[in-house]
Structure 1
Amino acid sequence: MSATEVRLGYKLTEVGVIPDDWEVTKIDKIAEKVGSGITPTGGSRVYQLCGRPFIRSQNVGWGQLLLDDIAFIDEATHASFNSTEIKSGDVLLNITGASIGRSAVADQRIQGGNVNQHVCIIRTHQEKIAPHFLNAVLLSEFGQRQIEGFQAGGNRQGLNFGQIRSFQVPLPPLPEQRAIAAALGDVDALLAALERLIAKRRAVKQAAMDALLSGRVRLVESGQWTADSSAPSSVHRPLFTVRYKLTEVGEIPEDWEVRRVQEIAQVKTGPFGSALHERDYVDDGTPIITVEHIGEFGIAGESIPMVSETDKKRLSAYELKEHDIVFSRVGAIDRNALIQSNEAGWLFSGRLLRVRPDPDKVYAPYLSYHFHTRAFKERVKSVAVGQTMPSLNTQILNSLLVVIPPLPEQRAIAGVLSDMDAAIAALERQRAKVQAIKQGMMQELLTGRIRLVK
């Protein structure tokens, strides 16, 4: 941007256009400490069940502390690390590995703990800069660009203290810093509440899967659907006396069956590598699904390759229909996804297997949920071939055992779980909207385009 484009009340600086009453500084000028710790001798073997918190890179998220798997060290080890003791208000920045650039502010939960060598403590002069404001700058698009720039040279493995000290920071007056941090903190609180709710819904769904797909909770009796007509579709009136039988896959209801995949579906391997190459991909055509696009319960990813109409016709044997299920054939072999109506007509690649259920024998959404049970995934892993790269083939997948309730109950089970998936998806969309709002707020507030304090 040229000087003539700078509006009244703003100035052009090395960090871009900012208000006249803001400054540009470096972390070196506003921090009393920049440093990291070390891992205790003996590594994880010396970790304790309680004691002093020991913060590793996995405990520092994007603006929040992740303390579910926090480690602890004893007092003697802590005493030997006294230069790395955490104080409330310290900004913790991941400086190595895949999580480089993540940061969060230390609070009372980890005060008095220590960090390892992958986490840097930035202890600010709080009369100059608010810790939560600095944390917001580090996590902003501008901050992440600086971190990426430091890695663009020869130091791709991590950040050194000199680079961190040279990090440039736009600096509003302290009251405005606090106002910006508070506004962003309110959005963070909403995101945290959504995360907790999503986690709770996922846990409830997992419990429902365990109960419904094992037959411990029944939704129908004598093949008749018993929905409570006065209740929503996700609430059902079940629970009657059930007899169970012991099978090759454990105890199941007496009226359920155990079948091999080949008895209820057709399995087909994707085209061999010689049939399709990356050079065959086009900008506009028919999507072809690869291993990378199989999400937890559906097709994920935006950069799905496409093939021409000519190649689609040539590969018509590998076309997908609604309610087909695609399986990863290599690597994460327990990963699979149900094909939806908008994905019908797509193709699948050679690293996948297609399962086409027989609708007279099994309801495809039920089978997809069954494929996602922990028990079935363990069966898949137990029969996979290959040491370094586990793999599946048609013969192996065909031979696997699946549990089959009567068709009405299959539909009922899939309906309950589908309702739960829809509720989770709605929350995830809401979270994505809030995240987008926060990114927009950061861009406006951290450049001074929107002022919170006059």
Structure 2
Amino acid sequence: MSGLQVGPINDFALGIYDGPHATPQEADEGPVFLGIKNVTPQGTLDLSEIRHVSEQEYPRWTKRVVPQSDDIVFSYEATLHRYAIIPENFRGCLGRRMALIRPDKSKVVPRFLHYYFLSPTWRAQIESNIISGATVDRVPLTRFPGFEVKLPNLALQERIASILSAYDDLIENNRRRIQLLEQAARLLYKEWFVHLRFPGHEHVTVTDGVPEGWLHAELADLCLGNSGIQTGPFGSQLHQSDYTDRGVPVVMPQDLKNLRISTERIARVPEALAEKLARHRLAPSDIVYGRRGDIGRRALVSDKEEGYLCGTGCLRLRPNQERVNPHFLYHALGDYRTQTLIRNRAKGSTMPNLSAKLMASLPVLVPSRLLQQQFGAFATDNSREIELLTDAIAAARVARDLLLPRLMNGEIAV
């Protein structure tokens, strides 16, 4: 690639700023306190789980800088190599160990610079400048402005960014479609089983909030046998030192994201150890439920996740499909009233904790078999569509990640 502009990153920026070196008080709502966990390895923002800063404290946490659209945020300590571009209408502040660069648009296209930060060339430069500390690695922000970049002219930057953005736009479009499908199932559950406006409800007698033909049951009665509700392996069975980069995924509460199992940062164990812990293996239609800390995270296990291990911080529920439809039970466990009952059962002075015994007696209002089947059919179709869209997202990411370095080093002419 000829005609490159070569110089320190500072020459292409209007400013480089780091975030506060502290953490604000917890707030239930307000601007986003943007942390490392909100930036994915693929270079996108993940705001599904956010921490808030109160409106009163917001000015204090934005004294150094107020993030604005086209800024590029990045991590400089602990978990490195995380970059994301700030979208329009974002309102928040930088969290700990986060910084941002404000591109000079007269010299660099922000989208291109974002992709450049994701390239092997830039990653290698960061790796060569990492300072290894006693507890975490970091990139020295005092030297960061002097790190060298090699950028093509603006027109070529725009063309390259447009090619790569097409993949990211496809990913975002599919992600939104997934959200709509999930929302449709939640809304149908609420309409039928909370508001009791199910098909034919006009002709059904309701007594004390229970339609004719519906039954009260305990969760244990809806699961298979004595091991229908089971915690993950104890700490004595599964140690931190057992985890590897490859092998069988182990589902922890932090892997239950957006009501699905995320393998983005999932821990793994060797196959031999997984076989020893075979009673904790997951099967399709199992429900994994987080039992520690942020109780309420859950996921319905799909065919792709068959054989994964239920982790120590989770419960595995195995529905008895002769008594309850797994999709119905999965949504019932997410109902606000049920969630409140579950949280009230959790024990622990410092961290809420659930056991299989505490969950076993959880009351569940079970509708007629016909209604369950109708709802299950709708939810199953949605789940299949979500799986197809998830596969499409994964394929688009692979294609983009293969193309990105080749475009950046000029191997592919545009």
- 1:129 to 2:129 alignment: no
* Closer/same/farther in 2, CA of residues 32 and 356 from structure 1, 3 Å limit: closer
Q: Which residues of 2 match residues 1-400 of structure 1 at below 5 A? A: 19-36=1-18, 57=34, 62=43, 84=65, 90-95=71-76, 101-104=82-85, 109=89, 120-147=99-126, 149-154=128-133, 156=136, 159-214=139-194, 216-219=196-199, 240-246=202-208, 251-265=209-223, 266-268=225-227, 269=230, 273=234, 276-277=237-238, 291=252, 295=256, 301=263, 304-305=268-269, 308=272, 323-338=285-300, 353-400=315-362
Root-mean-square deviation (Å)? 4.9
User: SS where residue 221 of structure 2 aligns?
Assistant: helix
- Aligned counterpart, 1:426: 388
User: SS where residue 162 of structure 1 aligns?
Assistant: coil
Deviation of the 1:396 alpha carbon:
1.4
Contact residue 281 and residue 307 of structure 1 kept, 8 A: no
- Aligned counterpart, 1:15: none
Match of 2:398 among 427, 432, 436: 436
Deviation of the 1:414 alpha carbon:
1.4
CA distance in 2, matches of 1:178, 1:139: 16
CA distance in 2, matches of 1:110, 1:338: 32
Contact residue 8 and residue 147 of structure 2 kept, 8 A: yes
CA distance in 2, matches of 1:216, 1:120: 50
* Structure 1 residue ranges without an equivalent (≥5): 1-18, 222-238
CA distance in 2, matches of 1:185, 1:355: 41
Contact residue 294 and residue 335 of structure 1 kept, 8 A: no
Which of the pair has more CA radius of gyration?
1
Deviation of the 1:403 alpha carbon:
1.2
Query: Residues 403-438 of structure 1, C-alpha deviation per residue, up to 9 Å, x if partnerless?
Result: 111222212211111212222222222222222222
CA distance in 1, matches of 2:243, 2:35: 39
Contact residue 133 and residue 180 of structure 1 kept, 8 A: yes
CA distance in 2, matches of 1:186, 1:371: 38
CA distance in 2, matches of 1:445, 1:138: 13
CA distance in 2, matches of 1:87, 1:298: 31
- Aligned counterpart, 1:411: 373
* Closer/same/farther in 2, CA of residues 253 and 439 from structure 1, 3 Å limit: same
Deviation of the 1:138 alpha carbon:
1.6
Match of 2:407 among 419, 434, 445: 445
Deviates more, 1:147-156 or 1:416-425: 147-156
Query: Residues 65-96 of structure 1, C-alpha deviation per residue, up to 9 Å, x if partnerless?
Result: 9799998979xx69x95x74677755454556
* Closer/same/farther in 2, CA of residues 252 and 25 from structure 1, 3 Å limit: farther
Q: Name the aligned partner's letter for residue 129 of structure 1.
A: V
Query: Residues 272-309 of structure 1, C-alpha deviation per residue, up to 9 Å, x if partnerless?
Result: 749845599799xx969554697465665475435549
Give the number of equivalent residue pairs: 398
Q: Name the aligned partner's letter for residue 410 of structure 2.
A: G
Contact residue 56 and residue 118 of structure 1 kept, 8 A: no
CA distance in 1, matches of 2:116, 2:372: 51
Identity among equivalent positions (%) equals: 19
CA distance in 2, matches of 1:280, 1:169: 39
Query: Residues 227-259 of structure 1, C-alpha deviation per residue, up to 9 Å, x if partnerless?
Result: xxxxxxxxxxxx64443333xxxx342331111
CA distance in 2, matches of 1:260, 1:88: 50
* Closer/same/farther in 2, CA of residues 149 and 28 from structure 1, 3 Å limit: same
Q: Name the aligned partner's letter for residue 17 of structure 2.
A: G
